[in-house]
Amino acid sequence: MAELLRSLSDSQLVARFQSRCGLYPAPPEKSTQKYIVKNYFYYYLFKFSAALGEEIFYITFLPFTHWNIDPYVTRRLIIIWVVIMYIGQVSKDILKWPRPSSPPVVKLEERLAHEFGMPSTHAMAATAISFTFLISTMNRYKYSFALGLMLAVLFSTMVSLSRIYTGMHTVLDVIGGILISGLFIAVSYPAWDFIDHLESASLLFPICILVVPFFLCYNYPVSDNYTPTRADTTTILAAGAGGTIGFWVSPFFKLVSEPTESAIQSIPPLTTKMLGLGLTKFMVGIVVVFLVRQLMQNLSLQVLYSWFKVVTRNKEARRRLEIEVPYKFVTYSSVGICATVFVPMLHQFLGLL
């Protein structure tokens, strides 16, 4: 067993996978070139797959699901995603297992190169998102379970393999991430309905859902060297907190209806009119979300820079605990509230619902 674990965590195994997919380190004489790509199909496939586990995917896919598919499903996706990502991010900074060594591995993502490796949060999130979506929809909509399962496995597999291809994780990191997500889903599934009803159980819920995540972010495990894990964790927890506040507020404005428990719904046919409406809702919503993100980021940074007497646009100052956590939390909790409350209100005003 020990020998198997060592082989799965071996950087040479990652390097061999990269070379089989046509990715090689550049020769020493090519000092300006870091790597050579000989198979661009795998290169773009895995680069795209890696993006499916990053902010650009979550800030588009989760709102799209909420606006166009099913707010009930989105609520479950966000809760599971937030908890899974927090477990993964904290585990990295507690275990402190290094990423694959370079050389021999080619690393394609310099921003994340200084983070620790175990577990792969991309693999965790991809597994959690795909299988939570499958479980949450299979008893609400009529579709082939085999097809849904195949798509969930395909999605999580492609994102997981992309982490090996990009040199960010060993095989053991990826397997560990998948197993943690699978175990969490299995253990937490019986409580999903209880958590759904917990949101409306108390008027203190919105306060708790803001205070607890902020406390967790502010008391994030300290690393010897700066890594973006604390900032990324704050982004995730804040977006989740803002979205959950939105779910709590939405019924007061009649923006969403309670899920029907009686019958499984048929998936409506994808007509040109429906496609156009969905794209319009998405484009209107995503523009508002990005504007709110930029506005709240600028405002919160200006206030914090002034409060702590820091030179404006000092990027290094953003990494300070007392600046990084509050500005990230304010920015992305605002994004979450905007996506779940103000954008649906705008859709309603424009007659898009």
Catalytic amino acids? Answer: 122, 169
Q: Helix crossing, 171-188 with 71-95: angle to 10°?
A: 130
Q: Which of 180, 190, 181, 163 is nearest to 100 (CA)?
A: 163
Question: How many Å separate Cα 291 from the centre of its chain?
Answer: 20
Cα–Cα–Cα angle for 325, 288, 252, nearest 5°? 85
For the beta carbon of residue 113, count every other beta carbon within 10 angstroms. 14
Q: What is the DSSP string of 211-250?
A: HHHHHHHHTPPPPSS--THHHHHHHHHHHHHHHHHHHHHG
Q: Is the dihedral of CA 288, 294, 298, 300 positive or negative?
A: positive
* CA–CA distances in Å: residue 32 to residues 15, 35, 221, 289: 21, 9, 37, 38
Range 151-175 burial, b when 16+ CB lie within 10 A, else e: ebeebbbbbbbbbbbbbbbbbbbbb
